[in-house]
Amino acid sequence: MIYRFITVSVIFLCLVVNSVSAAEKPEKDTRIKSRGSLSYDKRDAKIKVYIEGVRLDMDYMRRNMRFADFVNDPAVTDVHIIITNQRSGSGGMVYSLMYNNLTFENFNDFTITCTTFADDTGEEERQKLKNALSLGLMPFVNQTKASNQLSFLYRGETEVAQADEVEDPWNNWTFRGDVSGWANLEESKKNYSYSFNARADKVTENIRIRNNARRSVDTQKYTSDGEVYRSDNTSTYASTSAVKSLSSRWSTGLFGNLYNSNYRNTKYSITVKPAIEYNIFPWDISDRKVFTIAYYIGLEWMKYYEESIYDKMEESLWEQSLRLDLQIVQTWGEIEAGLNATNYMHDWTKNRITFDTDLSVRIIRGLSVRMGFRVENVHDQIYLPKGDVSLEDVLLNKVQLPSSFEVGANVGIRLQFGSIYNNIVNNRL
């Protein structure tokens, strides 16, 4: 039954990919008259621009990009821009700005990038994004009379000096540390937590090395009739991985993890797993579509705080995983879906299957739907402590409870109508 579910889910994901690929280059909306052509006459009206994806400071964009009209309805836009981002090896962000031309003839769709650094301020980030957006819109603005009001200033040297070869003393390594905490105090109830996190990564075109360590503590105290009830949930997680690119679609890697949690009765869990991954689409278009198939296999060593339901204090088991991930970004919406199947190889009934999806689709003009769904078939809780769980432990959330499934869902609808223009900025009270 479990593997029938996996087969059906894989077939469903493949059908979605085929459907999206077939519709990847939609026909232009014939209801919108094409106003751009190879002509000496220029449009009087400014270009209409619709932006979605990464959240921007749109007030700032409207004030500083007055050569365009920003609209809130993609059905009437001239240029539909989708912005996605990925973290770079230095800790900054690489933004992909995908320009989808809807009304101009002789213009193809294209993508440009914008890179920010990890230490950039919010002002510096929005300036860089504004400049990148503006440069990408220039071919379209050139077809309007707004281009007559533009001027350009080059701040560089008159003669560009030959760039010296950059020596990186860190050899592409980046490091980051985070400390956070919070507290909520009442007369009879106190709750506080804190966490530490450290990262060390190296990213090049052919290899990616990631190291991460995290420690978190969550404490709850309740006072009732002079008696104090306390719950301390602590967890430690550390991971290391090295992934090498074999080709435009194939990758291989080695993954190691260390885990500790008193909530899950795990004094330690250590896993070492080699893996191989195949992307149906080339990785150089991963900002727009990804469909990966990855297989992991390795050994897990475990030791428990209390004797497990299988009369074990410690054990070592072989484990394997198969994961499929799909991500599609188009002008009509976005799809994210994942299927993960894991089992212990000594007993195939000890398994877990997880399917999660997040779908955002524009149905008609002004109406869009967003929905998410996650379901887990759980049969691998071998770490559960033996014996009965007290009501106090349940109420204080001290221990993981047995469960054969987990389900979660969300849905949202957005309906918008009225004026399509939103260029006026008014931040008054």
pLDDT digits (tens, 9 = 90+) for 122-170: 888 888 999 999 999 999 999 888 888 888 887 777 665 555 566 778 8
3-state class (DSSP) for residue 417: coil
**pLDDT tens for residues 59-71?**
888 888 889 988 8
Q: What is residue 282's DSSP assignment?
A: -
Q: Are residues 140 and 262 in the same domain?
A: no
Which are the contacts of 336, defined by CB distance < 8 A and separation ≥ 6? 326, 327, 357, 358, 359
Q: Are residues 292 and 401 in the same domain?
A: yes
d(CA 254, CA 257): 10
Q: Is 106 exposed, middle or buried (0-12, 13-18, 19+ CB in 10 A)?
A: exposed
Count of alpha carbons within 13 angstroms of residue 274, beta-carbon side: 2
- 298 lies in some domain: yes
Domain boundary among 149, 175, 205: 149
* Bridging pattern class, strands 68-70 and 79-87: unpaired
Q: Are residues 285 and 399 in the same domain?
A: yes
- 11 lies in some domain: no
Domain boundary among 149, 166, 185: 149
Tell me how far apart the terminal alpha carbons of the chain are, to the nearest angstrom.
Answer: 60
Q: What is the overall mean pLDDT for the chain?
A: 83
- What's the average model confidence in pLDDT over 26-48? 58
Domain boundary among 134, 149, 164: 149
- 38 lies in some domain: yes
d(CA 260, CA 254): 21
Q: What is residue 39's DSSP assignment?
A: -
Q: Are residues 129 and 255 in the same domain?
A: no
Q: Are residues 135 and 252 in the same domain?
A: no
**CATH of residue 116:** 3.40.50
- H or E segment at 232? strand 227-245
356-392 burial: b if 16+ Cβ within 10 Å, else e: bbbbbebeeebebeeeeeeebbebbbbbbbeeeeeee
Asked if pLDDT for residue 350 goes beyond 60, the answer is: yes
Q: Give the angle 99-102-105 at the CA atoms, nearest 5°.
A: 100
Q: pTM score > 0.85 for this model?
A: no
pLDDT at 357: 92
- What's the average model confidence in pLDDT over 385-402? 79
Which of 82-91, 226-235, 322-331, 352-361 shows the lowest per-residue confidence on average (mean pLDDT)?
82-91
Q: Are residues 265 and 378 in the same domain?
A: yes
3-state class (DSSP) for residue 343: strand
Which are the contacts of 135, defined by CB distance < 8 A and separation ≥ 6? 112
**CATH of residue 333:** 2.40.160
- 8 lies in some domain: no
Q: Are residues 145 and 250 in the same domain?
A: no
Residue range(s) defining the domain that contains residue 109:
32-149
Q: Are residues 131 and 269 in the same domain?
A: no
Q: Are residues 252 and 382 in the same domain?
A: yes
Structural Rg of the chain based on CA atoms: 27
Q: Are residues 258 and 144 in the same domain?
A: no
Q: Is 12 exposed, middle or buried (0-12, 13-18, 19+ CB in 10 A)?
A: middle
- 231 lies in some domain: no
Q: Are residues 379 and 252 in the same domain?
A: yes
Percent of the chain with pLDDT over 90: 40
Asked if pLDDT for residue 194 goes beyond 90, the answer is: yes
Structural domains in the chain (count): 2
Which of 26-40, 250-264, 328-342 shows the lowest per-residue confidence on average (mean pLDDT)?
26-40
- 190 lies in some domain: no
- 4 lies in some domain: no
Q: Would you mind telling me the total number of residues written for the chain in this entry?
A: 429
- 189 lies in some domain: no
- H or E segment at 17? helix 2-22
List C-alpha distances in Å: 244 to 87, 210, 255. 18, 12, 12
pLDDT band at residue 401 using 50, 70 and 90 as cut-offs? confident
Q: Are residues 386 and 271 in the same domain?
A: yes
- What's the average model confidence in pLDDT over 309-322? 95
